[in-house]
Amino acid sequence: MPEFFDMHCHLLFGVDDGPKQLEETLTLLRQEYDAGVRTVYLTPHYRKNMFECPADTVQANFDALRDRVKQELPDLKLRLGCEIHVYMDTVEEIKNGRCHTMAGTEFVLLEFPEAAEKKYILERCHAVMNKGYAPIMAHAERCGAIRKDTELLRRLVDMGVYIQMSAGSIIGEEGFFWKQFCKKAMQQDLLHFVGSDAHGLKERKVNIGKCAAYIEKIMGADYRDQIMRVNPMETVERSIANRYE
Ligand SMILES: [Fe+2]
């Protein structure tokens, strides 16, 4: 079984609209494990006036979870990140430590408003990159400006922005048009990472396994491995490894 990554989910308990209790998180992580996932990036929301769990509380819950997972699922790696809702002062928020980067690296998972305009997306990505961070655009398929203009997606990729799409959108849970758009992005090699964006047992469930099977069917096993394992290994994981060399 290939060792997949889930690059975006809300499975850390007690910090956003994901699970409330550690036990529920463990059940969900077992589902990830059974689907072939071996590294999970836990990326709680950080969004002003909505989700503002202090970074040290997030870290404390992550540490408690990691201790339990070491005993129960010893070969499942957990990484702490954050889904950062983009504002004009996002760079300052990151620099001040109000929200986590991906496992302490230069990679940051950015969520744009669905109605964000092209100019705003480009300007904010440039601003983040100018300060030395590597933006990963969370569920890029949700932005109308991107869905209606594949050239914008290409421009972002060319300037060094990483693209993440949701497993649910890829397999059609969000409807035919989003599914078609994700397929087009894969065929044009404009996708880097897949994330479940899972929130719980009932809604927005863990679906990496279904997505892996679907991608293998339409794009082949090599492509599936590229975006679900190799790309994370060659980017964020490499940055983590370099810090400890
Ligand atoms: Fe999310």
Give me the phi and psi of 98, to 5 degrees please.
-70, -25
Say how many Å lie between the CA of residue 138 and the centre of ligand 1.
7
Q: Does 204 score more than 90 pLDDT?
A: no
pLDDT for 1 equals: 64
With contact defined as beta carbons under 8 Å apart, do 69 and 37 qualify? no
Say how many Å lie between the CA of residue 222 and the centre of ligand 1.
27
Using pLDDT thresholds of 50, 70 and 90, give the confidence band for residue 245: low
Say how many Å lie between the CA of residue 184 and the centre of ligand 1.
22
Say how many Å lie between the CA of residue 199 and the centre of ligand 1.
8
Say how many Å lie between the CA of residue 218 and the centre of ligand 1.
25
The residue behind tokens 């649910």 is 168
Q: Are strands 193-195 and 37-42 parallel, antiparallel or unpaired?
A: unpaired
Using pLDDT thresholds of 50, 70 and 90, give the confidence band for residue 143: very high
The stretch 176-201 carries a mean pLDDT of: 95
What distance in Å separates the CA atoms of residue 39 and residue 9, rounded to the nearest whole number? 12
Percent of the chain at pLDDT above 70?
99
Domains of the chain: 4-243 (3.20.20.140)
Say how many Å lie between the CA of residue 245 and the centre of ligand 1.
31
The stretch 26-43 carries a mean pLDDT of: 96
Say how many Å lie between the CA of residue 189 and the centre of ligand 1.
23
> pLDDT tens digits for 77-101?
999 999 999 998 899 999 988 889 9
What distance in Å separates the CA atoms of residue 112 and residue 99, rounded to the nearest whole number? 16
Mean pLDDT value across the chain: 94
